[in-house]
Amino acid sequence: MAARRFRYSPWDGTQRGFEVDASDIMEQLTDDLLYHGDLNAAMRRMLQDGFNDRNGERIQGLREMLEKLRAERQERLDRFDLGGVFDDIAKELREVVEQERAALDEFAQEARAADDARRQELTDQVVAERNMQLEMLPNDLAGQVKSLQNYDFTSSEAQQRFDELVGKLREQLMAQAVDQMSGSMQDMSPEDMARMKDMLAELNNMLEQRASGTEPDFDGFMDKFGDFFPENPQTLDELLEVMAQRMAAMQAMMNSMTPEQRQQLQDLSNQLLEDLDLRWQMDQLGANLRGLFPDAGWGQKYDFGGVDPLDFPAAMQAMSDLGDLDQLENLLKGTVNPGALAEVDIERARELVGDETAESMQRMAELSKMLQDAGLIDNKEGRLELTPEGMRRLGKNALAQLFKKLSKDMLGGHQIDNIGIGHERTYDTKTYEWGDPFNLNINRTIGNAVRRRAAEGGVGGPVRLTPDDFEIEQTEQMVRTATVLMLDLSLSMPMRENFLPAKKVAMALHSLISMQYPRDYLGIVGFSEVARVLEAHQLPEVSWDFVYGTNMQHGFVLARQLLARQHGTKQIIMITDGEPTAHINRYGEPEFHYPPVRETVDATLLEVSRCTRDQIRINTFMLDADRGLQHFVERMTELNRGRAFFTSPETLGDFVLVDFLEQKRSLLRGRRTG
């Protein structure tokens, strides 16, 4: 098999990159998830706000989509004038009358040229009588149509043109009821009209059967009348929905007219659809459809303010567009998760609001499925939840974001890739993950590639490696560190905008230790009015507590208990923005005081002394530290001989991660030289 060849060209800005994938979506969700701890709420906010994909292209959120919908609706209302519905009909009727008058003049001239006095006298009487009839035509369109239907045309061309106009108007008015039938209604004979009435009657009968609990014979109906419906609806509901939308659009057009325009259209409809049984069947159908589809927009009204006149077909199309825009808007306003956008007819949306917005709807609809297919989330009884893989990805994102910010100066000479090299082998291997030392196990890696190729049906030829094939050797860490992260969850943290940076550090530190130092221990304690131990899988959903109080004392108690079960170098990393204002009193209850009282400070320092006795170092990272917090931390570090850092939300991650890695490097270096 010939080797596959590739050709590369320089990037010139015109090439299109990769489309958005599950990793992009999780990266977009990271900050929101860490801040609020609610995957479903984060997805809703992404749905509302939209985001930019890896190509920098905008994926519109619901707010932008709704703005586009409303702008498209307003553009139509500002452009069109419904008066054109009648202007076009009136113009054609005037042209028919003018054509008839010209024929009458020609008829009179021919009689004069014949030099026959009697013929001329009779012709003048007929011409005068018919001109009088034309002069006396009513002002309203329905009256004109009725009068001309009873008029004896002199011009066969004018008669034919009038008959064609009446047929077209009758077809357009009938199309309001059954849009799909228009192709079957051209040049209707009396027999065709009778069959139309039979179809409407049977359709109304099916609706009555359904209302009484009997399932109608839709297939039999289609066998008999299917030629009326060229789009071949597959169910009765499908057909009825189309008809309801069309009739509702016609009603909305009438609602949007002036009273005079509305009366003209009603009169014209009554005149052209004079068959009483046909009219009754159509009215009955309309009433049935109103009951079945009460939300189809029967009472909708639009305020047209433009100058472009619409003829009847264009007006019906405009009303259909406006109705579909309304339905699409209602769907978007009721959407609470991206998957609901799968109900949108993307091609129809493309016609209404353009490619960009329709494309955003389609891509938004795929978000949840992409995350589920990637194994990052699960849908449990309608609620989205992070999977273990999703939690790991969230931690990696937090770690990557923090490392991206670190300058080379802050990283110093620390080489992450060298961690673990030179230690005793455990003869265990693991799949390579970002950040792992690249201690490649050749046998396992090649074996993975061979098995993958066999699974893909490939035989013979060279073995090609992909990153998914990489498997690395585990090494025994000779220096073990046990760390408890104490995370301030008091209400002041979000109020001072410190919570997101602190939680991001917690996720990043957990991810770093899990990937780089899997034999190290990391415990997590959250503290506010009281403290509690947090499991790693709880971190994504951890949020601040809606209480006042910074109970460091209880936090140190729990941290010391966690570390008592561990061995190796022990430390507490505490992230806080306030001095201790709460402690557990002798009755076992939390007690809050602000400003801090001596009893709280003494209880906290007592626990610091116990940590010192157990050789636990406390490193404190102070956010927005006031004088009271600085003074307390100075006393604490004197007792414990730990370290204290004054940081900001922007630099917190830099300090914590770099300090942790530098300590780890120092311990490993000391171990090697010891």
Check pLDDT > 80 for residue 394: no
pLDDT at res. 126: 87
Work out the average pLDDT over 398-402: 61
Range with the largest mean pLDDT of 119-123, 499-503, 587-591: 587-591
Select the highest-mean-pLDDT range: 50-59, 262-271, 612-621: 612-621
DSSP H or E segment with residue 531: strand 531-534
In the predicted model, is pLDDT for residue 315 greater than 70?
yes
- Structure confidence by residue, pLDDT tens digits, 518-565: 788 889 999 999 999 998 888 877 888 888 889 999 999 999 999 999
- The sign of the torsion formed by the CA atoms of 168, 172, 174, 178 equals positive
pLDDT at 393 over 80: no
CB atoms within 10 A of CB 572: 26
Please state, in angstroms and rounded to a whole number, the distance separating the CA atoms of residues 282 and 201: 9
Residue 1 clears pLDDT 90, i.e. is over it: no
Contact 553, 521 (CB under 8 A): no
Q: What letter represents residue 557's amino acid?
A: V
Residue 181 has pLDDT above 70, yes or no: no
Q: What average pLDDT does the chain have?
A: 78
Instruction: Tell which wins on pLDDT, 6 or 96.
Output: 96
Average pLDDT over residues 327-349: 85
DSSP strand pairing (481-488 vs 521-527): parallel
The per-residue pLDDT for 186 is: 44
For the domain covering 481-673, report its CATH number.
Answer: 3.40.50.410
Tell me the C-alpha distance between 222 and 220, whole Å: 5
Complete DSSP assignment for 65-104: HHHHHHHHHHHHHHHEETTHHHHHHHHHHHHHHHHHHHHH
Separation of first and last alpha carbons in the chain: 56
Residues with Cβ < 8 Å from 621, sequence gap 6 or more?
A: 573, 574, 575, 576, 645, 647, 652, 655, 656
pTM: 0.59
Mean pLDDT score, 105-125? 84
pLDDT tens by residue, 435-490: 566 677 888 888 888 888 777 776 666 778 887 888 877 654 456 788 899 999 99
Q: Once rounded to an integer, what is the mean pLDDT over residues 11-30?
A: 63
What was the pLDDT predicted at 455?
76
At residue 598, does pLDDT exceed 80?
Answer: yes
Q: Span 70-84, mean pLDDT?
A: 86
pLDDT digits over 216-248, tens only? 888 888 888 887 776 678 888 888 887 787 778
Report the candidate in 177, 146, 179, 181 with the shortest Cα–Cα distance to residue 162. Answer: 146
Q: Is the pLDDT score of 419 beyond 50?
A: no
Q: Mind listing the pLDDT tens digit for each residue in 482-513?
A: 889 999 999 888 888 888 888 888 887 887 77
pLDDT of residue 412: 35
- Residue 145: both structure tokens together: 């149509």
Give the residue-averaged pLDDT of 343-355: 89
Q: Which tokens belong to 243?
A: 């008809």
Could you identify the residue written with the tokens 């009648």?
86
User: Greater confidence, 46 or 6?
Assistant: 46
AA letter at 75: E
- Give the whole-angstrom CA distance, residue 305 versus residue 634: 73
Would you tell me the crossing angle of helices 62-79 and 355-365 to the nearest 10 degrees?
Answer: 150
Split at pLDDT 50, 70, 90, the class of 600 is very high
pLDDT at 421: 35
Q: Please report how many Cα atoms fall inside a 13 Å half-sphere around the Cα of residue 502, on the Cβ side.
A: 32
Q: In which band, very low, low, confident or very high, does the pLDDT at 274 lie, cut at 50, 70 and 90?
A: low
pLDDT for res 285 = 81
Residue 580 tokens, joined: 């201790």
Average pLDDT on 306-315 reads 80
Which residue has better confidence, 574 or 186?
Answer: 574
Strand, coil or helix: 139: coil
Closest to 155 in 3D by CA, of 115, 114, 95: 95
pLDDT tens profile 37-70: 777 788 888 888 888 877 777 888 889 999 999 9
Q: pLDDT tens digits, residue range 363-392? A: 888 888 888 888 888 887 777 777 777 777
Q: Report domain extents, the chain.
A: 22-79+326-386, 84-325, 429-475, 481-673
Nearest-angstrom CA–CA distance, 446 and 111: 107
3-state secondary structure of 526: strand
259 vs 486 pLDDT, higher one: 486
* Choice between 198 and 651, residue whose per-residue pLDDT is larger: 198
